[in-house]
Amino acid sequence: MIAQLGALTIGYDDVGSGVPLVLLHGFPHDRTLWSHQLPALAEQCRCIAMDLRGFGESSVCPPYSMDQYADDVAALLDSLGIDRAVIGGLSMGGYVALTLWRRHPERVRAFVLVDTRGGADTDAARTKRRAQIKQVRSTGMHAIVDELLRGQLGKTTRERQPEIIEGLRRMLLHAPADGVAGALEAMATRPGSANTLESIDVPTLIVVGEEDVLTPPGESRAMHALISERAHGRSQVEVIARAGHLSPMERPAAFNHVVTEFIDRLVVGQP
Ligand code: MLT
């Protein structure tokens, strides 16, 4: 489906009914990252997977920043008539989710933070992102796709699931160079989220692949430690065995199970 938000076009899927759950993809993905989640979770929630600007069917147009991505999420919620939603974000989508909390906390009913982190980039990470911007602008996505595939998929997936590697490769090669460059700069300049995490007082599920080398389980535990006090024990970490950085795509059944249980508890009002 397509939402026209002023000059901005946003591609999204909207399936199921019940508690609204908005799913935000990582870098440099599009909403098809969640293709195993929508049919499964739609039995329980109203699942909305959107393309962030610069990706999928959304407009490839600046400005690109975490603030702008978060404002786009809020604008899509407005256009769909949704006041509050569970906000799920994978990696870069998690950075957007935390930015939404900073800018529009009233829109967040709960969080599902997936394979993500709270820290800002190090200087070395920023330098690498700027080198990648140059590579993508001069040679296209081919220049960085193999490195991304190696980092994003877990060892077990790389050894045993060639169809996932090829599916992800197609998705990454499809990403528009301008959207990719914009996202790289937006990630490089994002602030750290320690204070944001400390201020979270809504139920939060943190999910991470056991074999995630980009945002390893230690990052999830560090986020949980910052959140847990304000959220009064309503933050929890779930580690998905034999999955890497893209746990929803690599182990969909295991991932869907922990999310379904979390939403069940949310609906009946348990911590
Ligand atoms: C992602 O999957 O969104 C990226 O790993 C995020 C990042 O590069 O920091």
What ligand 1 atom has the least distance to the C-alpha of 117?
A: 9
Residue identified by tokens 């939403």 is 263
The DSSP letter of residue 80 is: H
How far away, in angstroms, is 94 Cα from ligand 1 center? 9
Return the best residue to mutate from 23, 25, 27 for the ligand 1 pocket (most ligand atoms within 8 A of CB).
27
Instruction: Estimate the crossing angle of helix 123-139 against helix 142-152, to 10 degrees.
Output: 140
**What count of Cα atoms within 13 Å lies in the side-chain half-sphere of residue 57?**
12
pLDDT one-digit tens code per residue, 205-223: 999 999 999 999 999 999 9
Q: Distance, CA 74 to ligand 1 centroid (Å)?
A: 22
Question: pTM surpassing 0.85?
Answer: yes
**Residue 86 and residue 263 in contact, taking contact as beta carbons nearer than 8 Å:** yes
* CA 161 – ligand 1 centroid, Å: 21
Per-residue pLDDT of the chain (271 residues; tens, 9 = 90+): 999 999 999 999 999 999 999 999 999 999 999 999 999 999 999 999 999 999 999 999 999 999 999 999 999 999 999 999 999 999 999 999 999 999 999 999 999 999 999 999 999 999 999 999 999 999 999 999 999 999 999 999 999 999 999 999 999 999 999 999 999 999 999 999 999 999 999 999 999 999 999 999 999 999 999 997 777 778 999 999 999 999 999 999 999 999 999 999 998 885 4
Q: pLDDT per residue over 56-79, tens digit each?
A: 999 999 999 999 999 999 999 999
Residue with tokens 């076009």: 9
Residue type, 148: L
Q: Is 167 helix (H, G, I), strand (E, B) or coil?
A: helix
The amino acid at residue 72 is D
